[in-house]
Chain A
Amino acid sequence: MDLGTIWFILIAVLFTGYFFLEGFDFGVGTLLIMLSKKDVDRRIIINTIGPLWDGNEVWLITAGGAIFAAFPIWYATMFSGFYLALLVILVALILRGVSFEFRSKNNSPKWRQNWDYIIFGSSSLLSILWGVALANLIKGVPIDNSMNYVGTFSDLISIYTLVAGITTLLIFTYHGAVFLSLKADGIIEERAFKISKPLGTCALTSSIILILLTYFQTDLFHNKIAVISVIFAFTFLTLSRYLMTKRRAKLAMLFNGLSIALSVGALFLGLFPRVMVSSIKSLYSLTIANASSSTNTLLLMTKIAIIFVPIVLGYQIWSYWIFRKRVTKKDLEY
């Protein structure tokens, strides 16, 4: 296996980790205003992800950084082509981040409510936009023979990409509800558990539509392993929804997480060996070979990654271990 492929796999793994982890904290953000009007309850909801959400975002930064260093041409085409879309994503990420910090700094109910709405709005918008962005990678965007994106912002929006966006929103919100029924207690646990069932059903329905559209709109199903991956992803989502009926939140969380991981995996398998599909001509697609850095750069990056990835993984697992308990009212004092 050449170094380019190794980095392609690593980037796929980083995105998988990002959606697996940030998926539930987006979901918790979306659920924030739906589960309770009481400030104490909302504080509990936020505290379930409080020590984790910013660590989860590290995965995105690392994925972006890895694309920049390992595939500068992919980075250039994608970040220039998706300029306005990524601007919206970045603004939403910034607003979401400060909301968690600002909300508690003032006692006024109005102040807190406003930040809660921003958390809800930005979390939901981000969940949708990531689905739209990923769908565009596989569906293909107008890339010309000099590897430039020649479309406009509206080229990124189509029925297919919007269905993908709604699906990611539903799956992440379901992921968040399962997470909350694991991490909160009392009334929030109860309500999260209750809402997870219709959410899971909606996510399943939306996934079926998305899979059908993917069959017609993309060439993802040409890759046999990608097909197997999609089948498993769908089975695991169904299983996770079934487990919630039995109130086995831990297992449901695990299987939904696996389902998200396999979906992202299927996307990258479907892309392979391309990194971005050109909708103008398949010859113009960006591939691992034509978009990657020099072997020297990749070799250096590989050495750095071998040293630091285990360290980062280690401290993230550690922080999840430390904050493994349920968040109760008693824990709010800090």
Chain B
Amino acid sequence: MLLKLMVLSILLPYIANSAGWILTEVSRTPWIVFGLLKLNNAVSPTVSASYVLTSLIVFSLLYLVLIVIDIKLMVKFVKITPNTLTKLKKNKSEEESLWI
């Protein structure tokens, strides 16, 4: 029971980390540099809203794809226990087993 909770708690540092960032960014508005520079004065005059939207979409999609791959790989490696590892190594030629 406790062990299962521990597995779930893997998520917690990610949530804490993101929450911290969101807190600093949101609570700093309307300042971008506190007390010195306001957000609306810091906007680049030559970068249009559509450019910013493009980059936002591109990075969101990119990181979405990466996180899916990441989670799949993590699950794959978590499932490998010392027992299955020896089995895997036995089944494969020496060369292949180098990069499990």
Contacts and interface: CB of A to CB of B under 8 A. Distances in A.
Interface string A145-156: 000111000000
Given A91-B62, A102-B69, A107-B99, A148 B45 contact: yes
A105 interface: yes
A98 B58 CA distance: 16
Contacts of A43: 99
Contacts of A104: 99
Interface string B77-100: 100000000000000000110111
Contact of A80 (B47, B66, B77, B99): B47
A114 B10 CA distance: 30
Contact of A84 (B45, B54, B69): B54
A107 B62 contact: no
Contacts of A320: none
A98 B66 contact: yes
A270 to B, nearest CB: 25
Given A91-B62, A332-B98, A105 B73 contact: yes
Interface residues of B, number: 20
Interface in A88-139: 91, 94-95, 98, 102, 104-107
A102 B73 contact: yes
B55 interface: yes
Contacts of A149: 46
Nearest to A43: B99
B99 A83 contact: no
A333 interface: yes
Nearest to B96: A107
B44 A76 contact: yes
Chain B interface secondary structure, helix, strand, loop or mixed?
helix
A83 B55 contact: yes
Interface string A199-215: 00000000000000000
A98 B69 CA distance: 11
A40 B95 contact: yes
A80 B96 contact: no
A84 B51 contact: yes
Contacts of A107: 96, 99-100
A87 interface: yes
Given A107-B96, A150-B46, A332-B98, A83 B51 contact: yes
Interface string A64-96: 000000000000100011011001000100110
Interchain residue pairs A-B with the least CB separation, the first 4? A80-B44, A104-B99, A80-B46, A80-B47
21 contacts: A40-B95, A43-B99, A76-B44, A80-B46, A81-B46, A83-B46, A83-B47, A83-B51, A84-B51, A87-B54, A94-B62, A95-B62, A102-B73, A104-B99, A105-B76, A106-B73, A148-B46, A149-B46, A150-B46, A332-B98, A333-B98
Interface of B: 44-47, 51, 54-55, 58-59, 62, 66, 69, 73, 76-77, 95-96, 98-100
